[in-house]
Amino acid sequence: MKNFFKMLTVSALGGILTLGGYIFFFEHQEVPGDSGTVQMPTIIPSNYESATVEAAENIDFTIIAEKSIHAVVHVKNLSTTNSRTNPLMEFFYGQSGGSERQVVGSGSGVIISADGYIVTNNHVIKGARRLEVTLNNKESYEAEVVGADESTDIALLKINTSDLPYLAFGDSDHLSVGEWVLAVGNPFNLTSTVTAGIVSAKARDINIMNNNKVIESFIQTDAAVNPGNSGGALVNTRGNLIGINTAISSQTGSYIGYSFAVPSNIAKKVIEDILEFGNVQRAYLGINYEELNSEKASEFGVGRTEGVLITRVLEQGAAKEAGLMVNDIIIKMDNVKIANFSDLQGFLGSKRPGDKVNITVLRNEASKVLPVKLKNQFGKYKFENRDFSDYFIGELEPIKRSDENKYNIDHGVKIVDLKNEAIERTYGVGNGDIILMVEDQKVHNSEEVDQLLKKHQNKEYFELQILTKSGKMGYIRVRSD
C-alpha cells in the first residue's frame, strides 16, 4: 500500500511538471512576425539561425513570400526641378525664370521594427522634399528621414504608426553561394513583387560610384531586380532579411541576370549607428594594401593569390598598435575568409571604432592570429570635439565684431592656424581668412564646422565658401581623405 501511494505521488508530481512546462514553453511562445503581439524592441531585431541546406523542391516559398510582402513598402520620392523652357525669361531672370516641375521617384523599403522604422537606399530618398510610404495594405504615411549614409547607400526612415509586420535581420556573413533567396519590392510600380534566385557571389565590388569612400561588398544574386526594387528586401529561406537590393548591372537599365544587395550586417550596423550616434562610425585598420592575384603574387614574391597584402602600416593606426607588419597577408578576420579587398572592406563596414577582432595573417608562410582593436580615421577609438575641423582645416575661432563691421557679415569662423597645406598651395588660403559656409550651410563656430564635416565625411570633398583677408569671396574644395 505504501508503495502504491509513493507511485501515485511521483506520478502526480510528474504530471504537474509536464503541464507547467507545456504552459511555459508553448502558451507563452511568440509567433515570429505576428504583429499583433510584437512590442517595440530595444534593439534592431535579429535572427541568426543556423543555415540549413535544402533542395529547391523542399522549400515552401509561399510562406516566406507571404511573410515578406507585408514588411516591404513602396517609397515615393516627391521632389521638384526647374523646367527652363523659356530662354528669354532665363536670360532676364536667371534660372528662377523657369517653371518648377514636380518629379516623382519610386523605390522600396523594408520595415525593421513594429513602430515604423524603415530601411531603404540613400539614392531612393535623396533630394526629396516629401516622402510617402505605402504599405502592402494600401495605407499611406508621410515619412521622415532619420539619417542616411552615402558610403553604403543606406537610409533610415520613420513613419508614425505601430503594430507593423517587420523582418528581422539575418547574418549575411554566413550566407553561402548557391543559397536560395527571394527579392521583394516594387519594380515598375508593380507593388508586392516577389522573385526567387540564388546567391551568385559575395563581396562584389562593381565600382558603382567610382568613389573610394563607398563601401562595395555586395551580395550578387540572379533573382530578378528592376528599377523600383531599390531599397527592397533580399530574404533567405528562413524569412530573415539578409540584404537590401541596391543595384543591377545592365546596359539597358533593366534586369539582365545580375543584381546586387547591400549585406544585412552592413545595413544593420549603419542604422544602429544612426540611431545611437546620429552618424556612421566607420572603423579603420590603418594600412595601405595590394589585392593579391597571380601578377601581384609574382611581383611581391609571395606564393599565394588570395588575400590582402599589407604594403604600409600607418602610424597611430590599429594595425600598428596590434603588431601587423608590411608583407603580412591578411587571410581571415574573425571567422570570415578574406580573399580580396572587398571581403576586408565588407567586414570592416559592419564594425565600428573600439570593436575588437582577430586577424589571421600569413607571415613568412606561417599563420599568425593577432587581436586588433579598431580605430577611426584619426587613430582614435572614439571621436572627439573638433577632430574633423582640426584635421581637414586647422584651428578656428568665431569672427570678432571688427570682422563683422569690416566685411559686413553676421556669420563665419576665422582660420587661426591652417594645418591643411594642400588648400594653401592650391587656393592660397591662409591664416586670417574666414570660412562663411560649409556645404552651403552658414557656420558661426568651430563646433558647427566640425559637425558639418563629420556629416559629409563620406563625400569625396567638402565645399567651403571662403572670404579672404583682401575681401574676395569664393568657393574651394577640400578633399576628405
The b/e string for 196-223 (b: 16+ C-beta within 10 A; e otherwise) is: bbebbebbbbeebbeeeebbbbbbbbbb
Question: For position 40, what pLDDT does the model report?
Answer: 42
Question: For position 82, what pLDDT does the model report?
Answer: 57
Give the pLDDT means over successive 10-residue stretches in the chain (481 positions): 44 44 37 36 63 62 92 90 52 48 84 96 91 94 93 94 95 93 89 92 75 77 90 95 84 71 95 90 92 87 90 94 95 93 92 96 93 94 89 94 93 95 91 95 94 84 92 90 69
* 28 part of the active site: no
Q: Against a cut of 0.85, is the pTM above it?
A: no
CA distances, 56 to each of 67, 168, 201 (Å): 19, 23, 18
Grid cell locating 318: 590599429
* 230 part of the active site: yes
- Placement of cell 527571394 in the chain: 182
* 34 part of the active site: no
Which distant-in-sequence residues (6+ apart) come within 8 Å of 149 by Cβ? 122, 155, 270, 273, 274, 279, 280, 458
Instruction: From the candidates 172, 217, 230, 389, give the one annotated as an active-site residue.
Output: 230
In DSSP terms, 106 is beta-bridged to 76
Q: How far apart are CA 179 and CA 309, in angstroms?
A: 30
For the chain, percent helix, then strand, then coil, each to nearest 5?
25, 35, 40
Question: For position 256, what pLDDT does the model report?
Answer: 66
Grid cell locating 205: 565590388
Question: For position 85, what pLDDT does the model report?
Answer: 53
Give all domains of the chain, ordered by start, each with its CATH number: 65-158 (2.40.10.10), 172-277 (2.40.10.10), 287-373 (2.30.42.10), 387-479 (2.30.42.10)
Instruction: From the candidates 153, 328, 433, 450, give the one annotated as an active-site residue.
Output: 153
CB 248 within 8 A of CB 226: yes
Instruction: From the candidates 123, 200, 389, 390, give the one annotated as an active-site residue.
Output: 123
CA distances, 64 to each of 9, 200, 397 (Å): 47, 20, 57
Question: For position 38, what pLDDT does the model report?
Answer: 38
In DSSP terms, 149 is beta-bridged to 154
Q: How far apart are CA 261 and CA 257, in angstroms?
A: 14
Question: Between β-strands 413-418 and 117-121, what pairing exists: parallel, antiparallel or unpaired?
Answer: unpaired
Question: For position 54, what pLDDT does the model report?
Answer: 58
Q: How far apart are CA 254 and CA 247, in angstroms?
A: 10
Question: For position 25, what pLDDT does the model report?
Answer: 35
CB atoms within 10 A of CB 133: 22
Q: How far apart are CA 437 and CA 314, in angstroms?
A: 32
